[in-house]
Amino acid sequence: MTGFQSEILIDSSSDIQFIDITDRVNDALRRSGVKDGLVVIFSNHTTASVRITENCKRLQMDMINYLKDAVPKAAYRHDEHTVDNRQNARMHIMSLFMNASETIPVKDGEMILGSWQSIFFVELDGPRDSRKVIVKILGESR
């Protein structure tokens, strides 16, 4: 079994933003040489996530509006003791609806994604520079 790890650095430009990272994950898969196995994509941030969904701007706008409606602006206790003056309790709560990671099967050197599926880094507390996503690839290289 072969193991390969890569990092993707992401700069966000909005408070909540879906950033397509599918091509960058595919690039890591090609560099790994793995033909059959798994790709695990992990966000090591508490106010960002990794999701698989359709690459449709209108759908993304709907999802952003849903998150904002589900977690309204309020006086959250976490915001009383911020280290960097970032009032982001709301974003931490939004992250409860999201995953920190996604796992995708690999066959014949290709990720098995559905026709409409893309991999997204979801920024919940932007804009931010140099957010990190870890890509871990495990499998057989044949």
Sheet containing 17-20: which strands, arranged edge to edge? 17-20, 117-123, 48-54
Distance, CA of 16 to CA of 27 (rounded, Å): 25
SS3 37: strand
Amino acid at 51: R
Element of type H or E holding 23: helix 22-32
Q: Tens digits of per-residue pLDDT, 6-28?
A: 999 999 999 999 999 999 999 99
Can you give the pLDDT at residue 79? 79
> pLDDT tens digit string along 36-48?
999 999 999 999 9
Pairwise CA distance, residues 6 & 27, whole Å: 10
- Cα–Cα distances in Å, from 127 out to 29, 90, 103, 141? 28, 15, 26, 38
Supply the pTM of this predicted model: 0.94
Arch. (CATH architecture) of 2-140: Sandwich (2.60)
Domain extent listing, the chain? 2-140
